Amino acid sequence: MTAFAVMRLELRRLFVRPLAWVLAALTLAELAFYFMLLLNNFLHLQVQLAARPSGPGLTDMVSVPLLSSFLTGGLLPFGLTELALFVVPLLSMSMLAGERSNGTLPLFFGAGVPPASIVLGKYLALLAWLVLWLILTLAMPLSLAHSTHPDWGKLASATLGMLLALAALAALGMACSAFASHPAIAASAALVITVAFWVVNLAAQKAGINNGVINWLAMPTHLEPLLRGLVSTSDVLWFVLLIALTLALATRRLSSDRERG
Amino acid sequence: MQDLSLTLPRGQVLGLLGVNGAGKSTTLSMIAGALRPDRGSIQLNGADFPEQPELARQLIGWLPERAPLWAELTVSEHLDAHGRLRGLRGSALRQARTAIIERLQLQPLARRLAGVLSQGQRQRLGLACALLHRPALLVLDEPANALDPVQVAALRALIREEASSGTAVILSTHLLTEVTAVCDRVAILHEGSLRHDGPVHGDEHAALERTFFEIAMKSGARVA
């Protein structure tokens, strides 16, 4: 129950701070522009696509590229995933590092809130914001659902992939925030680690290595199949493992804060 | 901290005196549950509460030094957040909030953001958060910091009122006058250990001052 009290407090703080609103406004404006661009491109290619027996549809050419430009070869460099690489560290940086630098972290301990509940409550609040962000992004292609035939299976798989990716990025951000003494340090560390998880296998791929540990470590290896409509237990488990590990690290760090002062 | 053993009955006000760095805030943080002692035990109503954080949630109210607050929340939102963290819900939370706002005369500040409060107002809000859930043990770290003389008098009256209703109170202070004005008992900490523990009577100021300086000077502390 205390995790929900922490979550409620954090959500309130998130929604009264201008940062969350500014980030939401800027990123949704960029995504709306990108959506229009993708839609325009799709409409221009309609005649050619109609001639193909199993050509790509609206889901392949608009909905999924809107979620990840990098992994689907989109028109602009920034889809939702690419924006999340920058947005999540900015939102997660104050979660625990901010409490530490303001001296408010002991208030939770003094109220008898266990470190796991602090981490979980704050994580759920961040996740709630990110889910809302994802829903607003998905509302763009879904607004065309009445007049088109979306590939619901592929869209559901891509949504699951995005949800897992956002949850993993949020957990990484929380862990960085738990270890940092200042929010700026937390944001920088989260950005570097997130980008590392994103590009760790690029050099290996250039060298023609398409399997092995280094590819397993990279987030795109597990996100790409989901975006293309292929749900595999091993990919889902990779995200769950990353989330559990980083949240456990954050909890451990807070416990040692309580022990060391 | 070492060699520190204290027992505090209900309704007693214990003053914790000591020079800077004596260990007062560390002791209070451990008693409040914010810091886990690596040895020893802290018992509340017979239960070892660092192992049972829910006891701290219900039974302890803590005002840390300088009253840390969330700048972007209003006074009212602070009280709600603290109440929820302490397990209060629904009408019980609303009643507790209304009562404490009235008691500490926070009505004009209720909708003001904590970030724009003066230090004295922050201290009053911190005190309100500590008292909200009617704790059995009230832990106050330098509660009179930044309060004006009128507010100090009101704070003393409030501490005595809490004690007479059965709440045990521990307050740390640098001020001997604070101890003689409100405390039933004084403990003097120096270099992390307990050097004196005895009752206080209102006319004992000079004797207490002598004891305090003897302890501080004997250990080579610099007194300005």
B86:A111 CB<8 A = yes
| Percent of chain B predicted with pLDDT > 70 | 95
d(CA B110, CA B74): 7
**Could you say which residues from 40 to 99 on chain B have a Cβ atom under 8 Å away from some Cβ of chain A?**
53-58, 60, 62, 64, 66, 68-73, 77, 81-82, 84-87
Collapsing DSSP to helix, strand or coil, B183 comes out as coil
Mean pLDDT of B175-182: 86
d(CA B135, CA B85): 14
Give per-residue pLDDT as tens, A128-166: 999 999 999 999 999 988 888 888 999 999 999 999 999
A9:B86 CB<8 A = no
Cα dihedral B168, B198, B205, B2 sign: negative
Which residues of chain B have a CB within 8 Å of the CB of A17? 72
Whether pLDDT at B1 is above 50: yes
Q: Is A4 exposed, middle or buried (0-12, 13-18, 19+ CB in 10 A)?
A: middle
Q: For residue B172, what is the enclosing H or E element?
A: strand B168-173
* Dihedral Cα A113, A114, A116, A119, nearest 10 deg: 40
Q: Structure tokens of B179?
A: 């101890």
Q: Looking at the complex, does the CB of residue B116 fall below 8 Å from at least one CB of chain A?
A: no
Distance from CA of B78 to the nearest CA of A (A): 9
Q: Structure tokens of A156?
A: 């559901």
d(CA B15, CA A52): 85
Q: Are A134 and A166 in contact (CB under 8 A)?
A: yes
Higher pLDDT, B51 or A199: A199
Look up residue B108 and give its DSSP letter. Answer: G
Q: What residues does each domain of chain B span?
A: 13-71+119-218
Q: Structure tokens of B217?
A: 């000077």
Q: Confidence class of residue B223 from pLDDT cuts 50, 70 and 90? A: very low
Mean pLDDT of B166-194: 90
Q: Are A219 and A225 in contact (CB under 8 A)?
A: no
Q: What is the domain class of B13-71+119-218 according to CATH? A: alpha beta
- Given the DSSP bridges, would you call strands B185-190 and B13-17 parallel, antiparallel or unpaired? parallel
SS3 readout for B184-197: CEEEEEECCEEEEE
Full domain range(s) for residue A137: 2-260
d(CA A61, CA A202): 24
Find where tokens 């909708």 sit: B111
- Pick from A54-63, B84-93, B170-179: least confident: A54-63
d(CA B50, CA B42): 7
Across chain A, mean pLDDT equals 91
Q: Structure tokens of B102?
A: 């009235």
If one counts the domains in chain A, the total is 1
d(CA A111, CA A2): 10
Give per-residue pLDDT as tens, B101-143: 999 999 999 999 999 999 889 999 999 999 999 999 999 999 9
Which residues of chain B have a CB within 8 Å of the CB of A102? 68, 70-71
How many C-alpha atoms does A226 have within 13 Å on its Cβ side? 26
Whether pLDDT at A178 is above 90: yes
Which residues of chain B have a CB within 8 Å of the CB of A113? 53, 57, 85
As a whole number of Å, the CA-based R_g of chain A is: 20
Provide the ipTM: 0.87
Measure Cα distances from A41 to A49, A149, A186, B64, B108 in Å.
Answer: 11, 17, 39, 60, 58
Q: Looking at the complex, does the CB of residue A108 fall below 8 Å from at least one CB of chain B?
A: yes
What type of residue is B99?
A: A
Q: Is A119 exposed, middle or buried (0-12, 13-18, 19+ CB in 10 A)?
A: buried
Q: For residue A79, what is the enclosing H or E element?
A: none
B84:A5 CB<8 A = yes
d(CA A157, CA A134): 14
Give per-residue pLDDT as tens, B68-95: 999 999 999 999 999 999 989 999 999 9
Chain centroid to CA B88? 21
Orientation angle between helical segments A80-102 and A18-44, nearest 10 degrees: 180
- Given the DSSP bridges, would you call strands B60-63 and B137-141 parallel, antiparallel or unpaired? parallel
What type of residue is A101?
A: S
User: Could you please report the per-residue DSSP string of B28-81?
Assistant: HHHHHTSS--SSS--EETTEEGGG-HHHHHHHEEEE-TT----TTSBHHHHHHH
